[in-house]
Amino acid sequence: SQKIEQNSEALNIQEGKTATLTCNYTNYSPAYLQWYRQDPGRGPVFLLLIRENEKEKRKERLKVTFDTTLKQSLFHITASQPADSATYLCAPLVEYGNKLVFGAGTILRVKS
Amino acid sequence: DAGITQSPRYKITETGRQVTLMCHQTWSHSYMFWYRQDLGHGLRLIYYSAAADITDKGEVSDGYVVSRSKTENFPLTLESATRSQTSVYFCASSEGGLADSYEQYFGPGTRLTVT
């Protein structure tokens, strides 16, 4: 079955540094992969989508890479701020019909 | 107000009771989804719908029933609630492939406790 792995431990970084979150998947080849942010007590919020034929995607301070050979996506936040503290979820497409499978998420804490 | 709403936001019920969680979206999105979120498991898909009157099971559909008679509504029913169904439930919607838009928009969630 499909398996999604994200850093199980929280990532603690200093304000201004770059945060890098990892998403590894096994047993399938998704056509695209999405990243979401979730704050405590709230629903996830879409951040970025990257397709299998795209190596990299950027949006403001966010950057996502997608390596279909390694079966891995990296999510970077540059010049991180305390407001970036949240849980970040990786979600590759399972099958057409917009079905996603979500990783358990990585907690990011940015300290000032 | 436009968007996706869920009701109730909090619900406590007893084992064996039937419970219905409501989800309403104002965008006329084709796709709608129900997820549950538990510590250590992340979001797991319960049911999804590609359009009105078209639904399909997800990863953890046992004990749940859905319907979608109108595009904007997608209620989730727990036929006979069990303690293992204590969770936070999220509804989401998405435009779909025709619009080449695949991001999902989530509601605020319903926290359900089964005693």
Domains and their CATH numbers in chain B:
4-114 (2.60.40.10)
User: What does the pLDDT average to over B48-56?
Assistant: 93
B3 part of contact set with chain A, CB < 8 Å: no
Q: Minimal CA–CA distance to B32: which of B60, B72, B59, B64?
A: B72
pLDDT at A24 over 80: yes
Counting every residue written for chain B, the total comes to 115
Q: Which residues of chain A does B50 touch, with a Cβ-Cβ cutoff of 8 Å?
A: 97
- Nearest CB among B41, B94, B105 relative to A104 is that of B41
pLDDT of residue B41: 80
- CATH number of the domain bearing residue A81: 2.60.40.10
Neighbours of B41 (CB within 10 A): 13
pLDDT of residue B98: 57
pLDDT of residue A60: 96
Could you tell me which residues come within 8 angstroms of residue A104 by beta carbon, excluding any fewer than 6 positions away?
A: A4, A6, A8, B40, B41, B42
- Nearest CB among B59, B103, B109 relative to A49 is that of B103
Q: Report d(CA B107, CA B8) in Å as an integer.
A: 12
pLDDT at A78 over 60: yes
Higher-scoring residue by pLDDT: B79, A32: B79
Total number of domains constituting chain A = 1
Q: Report d(CA B45, CA B31) in Å as an integer.
A: 13
Counting every residue written for chain A, the total comes to 112
Could you tell me which residues come within 8 angstroms of residue A75 by beta carbon, excluding any fewer than 6 positions away?
A: A20, A21, A22, A23, A35, A48, A62, A63, A64, A88, A90
Range of the domain at A15: 3-111
B40 with A100: Cβ contact below 8 A: no
**Binning pLDDT at 50, 70 and 90, where does residue A31 land?**
confident
- Taking CA atoms, what residue in B is nearest to A49? B103
- Neighbour-count burial for A47-64, b at 16+ CB within 10 Å, e otherwise: bbbbeeeeeebeeeebbb
**Exposed (0-12), middle (13-18) or buried (19+): which is A89, by Cβ within 10 Å?**
buried
pLDDT at A68 over 70: yes
pLDDT of residue B79: 96
User: What does the pLDDT average to over A75-87?
Assistant: 98
Percent of chain A scored above 90 by pLDDT? Answer: 74
Q: Which residues of chain A does B43 touch, with a Cβ-Cβ cutoff of 8 Å?
A: 44, 89, 102
Span of A44-48, B2-6, B70-74 with lowest mean pLDDT: B2-6
Q: Report d(CA A76, CA B86) in Å as an integer.
A: 34
pLDDT at B99 over 60: no
**A96 φ, ψ (degrees, to nearest 5):** -65, 150
Residues of A contacting chain B (CB within 8 angstroms): 32, 34, 41-46, 49, 89, 93, 96-105
Per the CB < 8 A criterion, the answer to whether B15 and B83 are in contact is yes
* A&B contacts, CB < 8 Å: 55
**Binning pLDDT at 50, 70 and 90, where does residue B100 land?**
low
